[in-house]
Amino acid sequence: RDKVIWEAFYGDGKSGEYLKSLGLNVIHKNIDFFKNNCGECVISNPPFQYCKEILKRLVELKKPFILIMPCSKITTQYFRKLFSNNEDKIQIIIPRRRIQFKKMVNNKYVESNKCNFDCFYYCWKMNLPSDIIWLEN
């Protein structure tokens, strides 16, 4: 709560509104993540197809983050290369159940089937009390 959060991936803007409703200081603008550097940490649900580039940029910026991403990301070579020898360890928050996403196409929500993959909250430089946290709710 003591940090300025950058919700770096705009979508429909609702995630920034939600974080603000929790009393957090949030920067949430429809700007290019790769050309900007806002806030003290990033909390977001990034576009999964750009995870490799997003993670690389966050490490280059030394920007602490919490990102929702598929659990399979941790087994990729780029993830291993970025974090296996990094002095700041990756920490994981594991949701109790599978996260269900709303699908947006051309700025409109479309019907989508239930999500068929699991996600974790990947945390870096957030100094959580444990490296793995299992959510109860």
- What is the β-pairing status of strands 4-6 and 90-94? unpaired
Residue 113 has pLDDT above 80, yes or no: no
* DSSP helix/strand/coil, 126: coil
Residue 59 scores a pLDDT above 70 = yes
pTM of the predicted protein model: 0.89
Q: How confident is the model at residue 100 (pLDDT cuts 50, 70, 90)?
A: confident
The pLDDT assigned to 71 comes to 95
Q: Maximum distance among all alpha carbons in the chain?
A: 42
Q: In whole angstroms, what is the distance from residue 89 CA to residue 82 CA?
A: 10
